[in-house]
Amino acid sequence: MSTLLACSATITYAQPTTSTLQQRSLAATCAACHGTDGRAVSGAGMMALRGLDKTYLVTQLNAFRDGTRPATVMQQIAKGYTPEQIEQLAAYFAAQTR
């Protein structure tokens, strides 16, 4: 019985948190251009987001959002994110190893 309890505690602990799931869900919207988990798509001409500094990512996304950084579609995409979602996206990609 104690072995069963130990296994079930481990399984519960291994489940991703709601915050992690939210970050993954937000990051999935970037995959079409920036690749799965922020890995650059070969030949697409888009930069990899994976492993970039969180502060850099927040700054760039906010610049897209407020229109101070020119872009084709990123200004429209970034306008759809709240400041909290921008923080979550930046944290997610910054946590990925290059």
Q: What CATH number corresponds to the domain at position 25?
A: 1.10.760.10
Q: How far apart are the first and last CA of the chain?
A: 43
Q: How far apart are CA 47 and CA 29, in angstroms?
A: 15
Q: How many domains does the chain have?
A: 1
Tell me if 76 is assigned to some domain: yes
Q: pLDDT for 27-82, tens place per residue?
A: 999 988 898 889 887 777 888 999 999 999 999 999 999 999 999 999 999 999 99
Q: How far apart are CA 15 and CA 26, in angstroms?
A: 18
Tell me if 68 is assigned to some domain: yes
Tell me if 7 is assigned to some domain: no
Tell me if 85 is assigned to some domain: yes
What is the extent of the structural domain holding 31?
17-95
Tell me if 9 is assigned to some domain: no
Conformation bin of residue 15: beta by default, left when phi > 0, alpha when psi is -120 to 50: beta
